[in-house]
Amino acid sequence: MWTISEVKERGKAAFKANYWKSVAVALIMGLFTGSSGGSASNSAGGTSSSIDINSVAGGMNSQEQLIAAGVITAAVLGTIALMLLLKVFLFNPLHIGGCAFFRANIEEPAELNMIGRGFQNYWRNFGAMLLRDLLVFLFMLLLIIPGIIKAYAYRMVPYILAENPDISAKEALALSQEMMDGNKMEAFKLDLSFIGWILLGILTLGLVLVFWTGPYMQNTNAALYARLSEKRT
């Protein structure tokens, strides 16, 4: 049975052995998933101008208001659709490539070009990650907790895809569920153990997140995958 301290120590050692490359890959992954460096820019964008919506709408007749509402709705839906397409066709393969980098980095310092691994076997990776995201989303519609449990069950999918070029999408999902069987709660506790570092990152306006917390967590996640893989052999 693996322990949180064991996995974190292995992840930290790999991180320190390849510090700057780990930072670079974790930053790329964080930017594309929106999990790093987004809060400051969003808040800045939200406060950069002040428009009295009521006064603008008050100068329009009902037909103009309907047209304006339609334009805004179309813009919002278009933006959402664009982000979903980017996630499915670009961000997911990049995520797999990042996982390939960190998995290799656990054994020895990895090279930056490994992030391109996600674009190999592209359509297999595309289908597997799309299926994973769809299943997690459907379980989220039932209740939040089942969705979170399913997300933990499929946590290892990108690592499996990166390391096994011949595996199918369904096999990757099934293997991830097998690896996480009995390990989901410990993995959740592992994530919680980084709360202090995440809060410190927020207090430092993302600096600690970029230069320590993010790459530390990514290496630790890869160390967990390596440990669970070793258990199966």
Query: 157-178 burial by CB neighbour count: b if 16+ within 10 A, else e?
Result: bbbbbbbeeebebeebbebbbe
Mean pLDDT of 145-167: 94
* Residue 23 in domain: yes
Query: 33-67 burial by CB neighbour count: b if 16+ within 10 A, else e?
Result: eeebbeeeeeeeeeeeeeeeeeeeeeeeeeeeeee
So what's the pLDDT on residue 58? 54
- Give the domain range for residue 140: 7-232
Q: Number of structural domains, the chain? A: 1
pLDDT digits (tens, 9 = 90+) for 161-170: 999 999 999 9
* Residue 116 in domain: yes
* Residue 182 in domain: yes
pTM (whole model) above 0.85? no
* Residue 1 in domain: no
* Residue 2 in domain: no
Please indicate whether residue 184 or residue 46 has the higher confidence score (pLDDT): 184
pLDDT digits (tens, 9 = 90+) for 56-103: 455 666 777 778 788 888 888 888 888 888 888 889 999 999 999 999
Cβ(20)–Cβ(225) below 8 Å: no
Would you say residue 196 has pLDDT above 70?
yes
